[in-house]
Amino acid sequence: MYRIGIGYDIHKLIEGRDLIIGGIKITHEKGLLGHSDADVLIHALIDAMLGALALDDIGTLFPDTDPKYKNIDSTILLKHVFELVKQHGYKIVNIDSNIIAQAPKMMPYIPKMKEILCKILNVSADDMSIKAKTKEKLDAVGQNLAIEANAVVMLEKI
Ligand SMILES: [Zn+2]
């Protein structure tokens, strides 16, 4: 039996924050604003996994009013959600995702992101896709005010 889930996230880009995407620090003059480390890709992945299981979403599971999650490394949240996937008797078949940012260029960082995420989620590199897009200078993302991510996850009952 298969289940599919979709995830989306957006965070505002501001000065004075580290830019953390896909579990790695990216060199940039701005970072993403959020209660956690604001890892937009991991948050989209988490919501895709929770959505596939029809569970509560990331904001309900890890409320931004809880001081416990302040500046938390999102890979910790991802590991927790992957445990939920396993507890429900599923494994990940494959993942597809987009990071949508006008700047900086994501491409050089994608192999390392894949390595980190594949290890946490127990999938091979062949089953993990991370694509980098821009917004062609349109809207808030295109104006360098925010970064977005989408993710789709397919689960299979073990
Ligand atoms: Zn988020």
Give per-residue pLDDT as tens, 26-39. Answer: 999 999 999 999 99
- For ligand 1, the distance from its centroid to the CA atom of residue 121, given in whole angstroms, is 19
What SS3 class is residue 31?
A: strand
Q: Which residues pair with 4 in a beta bridge?
A: 154
Q: Which two tokens stand for residue 14?
A: 């501001």
| Residue 105: per-residue pLDDT | 97
DSSP state of 134: -
Distance 146 CA to ligand 1 centre (A): 11
Give the fold, CATH level 3, of 2-157: 60s Ribosomal Protein L30; Chain: A; (3.30.1330)
- Token representation of residue 124: 């091979």
- Considering only CA atoms, which of 24, 81, 23 is closest in space to residue 51? 81
**Domain range annotation of the chain:** 2-157
Between the CA of 10 and the centroid of ligand 1 the distance, in Å, is 6
Q: Are 32 and 11 in contact (CB under 8 A)?
A: yes
Residues of the chain where predicted confidence (pLDDT) is lower than 70: none
Strand partners, 25: 20
CA of 151 to the centre of ligand 1 (A): 12
